[in-house]
Amino acid sequence: MLVTCCCKRAACVFETESLFDANPALDCCGGLNNVDYSQMDMSVLAELWRLIDLTEPRFCVAVIAIIFNPFFWNVVARWEHRTRGLTRLFGGPYAACYSLAVLILLLNVYRSHSITVAMKAHPRWEPLDNAHVYSAGAALMVLGSVFVISSFMALGVTGTFLGDYFGILMDQKVTGFPFNVMENPMYWGSTANYLGLALMNASPVGVILTAVVGLSYKVAIAYEGPFTEEIYRQRSQRCKHK
């Protein structure tokens, strides 16, 4: 029985090899070993790279502003959760949370300003400079704004601006729109806004900065999510022991 199976397997291998011998086109590009990369047109990438100066001061300021914002509010909010320092300073958790919210909004305004300045400091890219791309960018900005505004309406001021860290906890998890569409819709809506702005300005630098925004939010979510879940888990345990 074993001999029969081995023979059948050998015959199958022989037939497969014959098939490839008869149809050499099935071995695409010889596993890419026969591709002549020197014949590739790199002019588009060269032109794109020429338009982008990663050492330009306004670009660097924008990158710093993007990275600093989520880092700042996470550090401050965790410090508040651990020490209640802002609550004591402002005389209550709501006043402290609202004050931090104002500061975060001002930082976000400056971040948007720095991104706009960085885009204007670099040339537009011709392949993006057309009506179709402009329309796509405008659509992204509308979609992103819908996610941001609807998230704020669903969460409120304290739910949006880290009220959990001040001891202002929500009665239950928000599951309606836009949270039934995606996780963290405010972050990704904001990212869509920046991408839309970059496309409307035909700015490759804007696209790069949008990627930095998305990456910074991704890191922030990795830290905020588990920490917030732990806050609510501790509340559940306290309720059980009452």
Query: What residues form the annotated binding site for S-adenosyl-L-methionine?
Result: 142-144, 224-225
Q: What are phi and psi of 61, to 5 degrees?
A: -60, -40
How far apart CA 208 and CA 199 sit, in angstroms, is: 11
Asked if residue 213 lies in contact with residue 66, where contact means CB atoms within 8 angstroms, the answer is yes
Provide the 10 A C-beta neighbour count for residue 97.
27
**Which residues line the annotated binding site?**
142-144, 224-225
Asked if residue 184 lies in contact with residue 37, where contact means CB atoms within 8 angstroms, the answer is no
Nearest to 168 by CA among 235, 225, 93, 100: 93
Helix (H, G, I), strand (E, B) or coil at 178: coil
How far apart CA 118 and CA 204 sit, in angstroms, is: 11
